[in-house]
Amino acid sequence: MTNQTTVHLTIDNLPVHVPAGTTILKAAQQVGIEIPTICYHDYCTANALCRICVVEVKGARLLVPACTATVQENMQVNTRSERVERARRTILEMLYATVDLSEAPEIEAMATAYGVDRQRFPLAEPRHPPLIDDNPMYIRDYAKCVLCWRCVQVCAEDAQYTYAINFKGRGYETQISTFYEVPMPESTCVFCGQCVGVCPTGALKFKRQHLLEVGYSLDEILQMTRSERSGRRRREPRNV
């Protein structure tokens, strides 16, 4: 940051002075205002995908994502307006309509705070992709995935430069996948687990934790053979 200019704005009527280039999210944190986030992670590139961090900026036509929008001189930001609250509540209700959020305590806390009706969209079809258990290190349960994109980013330029995963499908069918859906060992994956480390919903999980949770005893887990712990074979190995 070479730009030393200070920007003056108000957030929820509090005056704020921060260096130019600061995001609204960080500026709000400086005055003790917490804006909720789901896809945002302090050590990943912000992409404004989940929109839960939207705020109302006076004069702006649309709600603005606080994780990527930067402060402007004389900006007036409202982080808890009726319009903001409604947007956040609706986003959460739509997530609950399609995703299994049973292992996302932070989102659960948000849902309670915003008075979310988890059954608001009873006709929506929850997504139930089968759990992918194709390697001895971690499982992928995309029924729990909110498509926050963090795993894809840490697999790419945010950390690992391995590029093993990306989107497949479009719209409602969108899911994180290896290319051509090859099992993880056949992808470029190096099993660093950076993806597991940033997953906010338990969609990515250590294999041994998963085995304990589905009822295996520690002794049973430790006695497993290589083929038992290699997971479900989805296709024959292509090469050595």
Partner 1 sequence: MLSPDRIVPTVCPFCGVGCNLELHVKDDFIYHVSAPFDSVVNHGNLCVKGRFGTDFLYHPRRITTPLIRKTPQVAGKRTQAFDLDEWQPVSWDEALELVSDRLVDIYQKHGSDALAVYCCAKATNEDNYLLQKIFRALFRTNNVDHCTRLCHAASVVALQMAIGSSAMSNTAAEVIENDVFILTGSNPTENHPIIALQMKAAVRKYGAKLIVVDPRRIEMVDYATLYLPLKPGTDVPLFSAMAHVILKEGLYNREFIEQRTENFEAFAASMEKFTPEVAEAISGVSKDLIIQAARLYATAKNGAIYWALGIPESTHGTANALSLINLALLTGHIGRRGTGLNPLRGQNNVQGASDMGAMPWHYPGYQRVDDEQNASRWERLWHVEAGGLNRRLGLTTTEILSAVGENGVRALYIMGENPMMSEPNLNHTRQKMTELEFLVAQDLFINESGAFADVFLPAVSWAEKDGTFTNTDRRVQRVRCALPPRGQARPDWQILCDLAKRIERKLGRQQSAYWDYRHPAEIMEEIRQGVPEYRGITYERLDREGGLQTPVWDENHPGTPYLFSETFPRGRGKFHPLDYTPNAEMPDEEYPFVLSTGRVLEHWHGGTMTRHSWMDDLYPEPLVEIHPHDASTLGIENGDAVRVTSRRASIVLRAQVTDKTNRGVVFIPFHFREAAANLLTHDQLDPQARIPEYKAAVVRVSKARPEELAGRPEPQPRGRR
SS3 content of the chain, % helix, strand, coil (to 5): 30, 15, 55
Site string for partner 1, 166-195 (x = CB under 8 A): ----------------xx-xxxxxxxxxx-
Residue 213: both structure tokens together: 């949770």
Q: How far apart are CA 229 and CA 211, in angstroms?
A: 10
Residues in the chain: 240
- Contact status: 230 vs partner 1 (CB under 8 A): yes
Give the residues across from 16 on adjacent strands: 9
- Contact status: 109 vs partner 1 (CB under 8 A): no
Block residue for tokens 């060992």:
185
- Contact status: 200 vs partner 1 (CB under 8 A): no
Q: Which stretch binds partner 1 (CB under 8 A): 13-21, 47-55, 86-94, 219-227?
A: 219-227
Pick the closest to residue 95 from 158, 28, 143, 151 (CA basis).
143
- Contact status: 226 vs partner 1 (CB under 8 A): yes
- Contact status: 87 vs partner 1 (CB under 8 A): no
Geometric angle at alpha carbon 89, from 153 and 108, rounded to 5°: 65
- Contact status: 47 vs partner 1 (CB under 8 A): no
Residue 124: both structure tokens together: 């929506």
- Contact status: 202 vs partner 1 (CB under 8 A): yes
- Contact status: 96 vs partner 1 (CB under 8 A): no
- Sign, CA torsion 92/140/147/196: positive
- Contact status: 240 vs partner 1 (CB under 8 A): yes
Residues 123-162 contacting partner 1, CB under 8 A: 135-138, 154, 157, 159-162
Footprint of partner 1 on this chain (CB under 8 A)? 42-43, 102-103, 135-138, 154, 157, 159-162, 164, 182-183, 185-194, 196-198, 202, 205-209, 212-213, 218, 222-223, 226-227, 229-230, 237-240
